[in-house]
Chains A and B, each alone.
Chain A
Amino acid sequence: MADRKVVSLKAASAAALLASGLMLAGASVANAQKAEPCIGASLELTGPLAHTGKQIVMGAEVAIDEINAAGGVLGQKLKFLAYDDQGEPSRAVDNGRRIGEKDNCIVMIGGFRTPNAIALREPIADMGLPWVGVISAGTSVIEWDKGENKWMFRVSMKDRWVAPFLVDEALARSKDKKLALVYEATAWGQGAVPDVEAAAKAKGITLVGKETFNIADQDMSAQLIRLRDAGVDTIITYMVDREATQLLRSMERLGYKPTIISAWGISSQLGKTAGNLTDGILVAGTFAWNGNLSPRAQKVYEAMKAKYSLTSPNDILLPSGNANAYDAIYIIAEALKIAGAFDREKMVNAFYKVKYEGLTANFDPAFEKAAAGAKTERHDAIKPTQYRMLAFHENVLKPVEQTPYKR
């Protein structure tokens, strides 16, 4: 208990300020020290998923630039510190400790991968460091099996909510109601299986096929042959661009053309690599930079275009994650204004009071506290009703309403 002793000694010095907060915190540790006006992040900046980190950096930096240009928060300019975790959970934990303990940042932003976020659960609670996810959609990042999640929030999709959304869209488009799931052998893919199965069951059907594949696989004929032979006409996929290209290629090889409805691993890049094969592929998301933009979104796009020398909206490979990061920064800034201090405890409490009209949704409020005794706290800012369906049309990913593939 030595570390707790040290921390609680420090806490005692600030007890006057925080007495009530500490009472509420119960057993969890509160770091009452004043935090720095910096926002840390553990992202993939190198390796095969390096583009995911880049998308988050772009969205976050542009938001921070705007906020700082308008005078910052509580008179302080915000700083953004992005560390590389190469997609590896233990590195993400190291980075989390660095952000929480060395840099003493007020808050941490999450990266692409769910396992990293899951690995961060204990250290985040241990440090009392607020964490806001902007991509990783794993249900258990926010909904914990045991213990109360006090510190982890998300401005992104949630798999448990995505699955019914996808199944619903799939059933609306399937002729024979024969649905299958194709998922990558990662935490994200494997984690989706029970969610999708449950969502299908809720609709009174069972999945006709379930197929998996390994990262960097170059041929999926074997899986598709089994699905074709089972008469599947609509496939829900959890995969990212590289393997999606291979799925589409294998479909073409076999001359098998089921409808593809994908969770949001697929990015604008697919239109470049798979060309015409992408036509009609549906992707769930929270935002699209293609198509008609609101004036505010247009302004944000122009800022990103100037700062990162983009040539078209297609260069924003993960439109949803990018917009989520942008919104998350604003939600944090709003919470700090309400909290009135760079104080993690106060900021977390202020999260429940933030009202903000963002790119991806109208947050009103951003998060909701659990009612007494019930496990209904909402730490996911974007509600399922705010999810959107995007579709590839002429090699470009657009809101489905602006394509021929709307329901």
Chain B
Amino acid sequence: MIVFVRTIILYIFVTLAMRLMGKRQIGELQPFELVVALMLSELATLPMQDTAIPLIHGIIPILTLMSLEILISFLTLKIEFLRKVFCGTPDILIKHGKVSEEELRRQRFNLDDLIEELRMSGYLDISDIEYAILETSGKLSIIPKAEKSPVTKEDLNLRPQATKLPVSIILDGVLNKKNLAITGHDLNWLMENLRSKGINDIKDVFIAMIDSKGNLFIQRRDRDEEENKK
């Protein structure tokens, strides 16, 4: 029972700590962030299993690590020197289609790994690469040579319509008045559109949203469709 309660407390605590540390903790990790994530998991599991360890012995290190992480990310944001110390700098592994032997050796990054990363990004030949940059998070960014890069709409002189942010108006039969106001329309406009699709009640709508092209997308609830068929 004690283990059960301790697990709940520590779970809530670690989740809050991770949440306070920011979104990057669950995405791309910098070296110092990875250290904190590894330590946090270990710190939380020890007092969780061993009831002889006071809970405070798990909570204090978690709080300290969380503060240090926030402090370091704040300082690295402000001071470039610290950013270099804690995050490191990106390294160019391929420059103008030529692999830098020295950088590979320095980063202990072998050729097989490099070729594998290139293949995974859809490039088979090293000569197709203008730059391959090993980022501080350990990921490899690949910039192909101009002639090998994919064709863009700009290359074809196409002028696409600007993409708008999709806004949901009704979700699972519940109207979001705030979002409706954001779209610049009112309830009468919405009801008119719903009636044109044969829907008289908002509760019968599963999804209604303004899509990225500015059109209204409506999907009726399955239950109502089945009832209509009957």
Partners in one complex: no
Residues in A lying within 8 Å of B, measured CB to CB? none
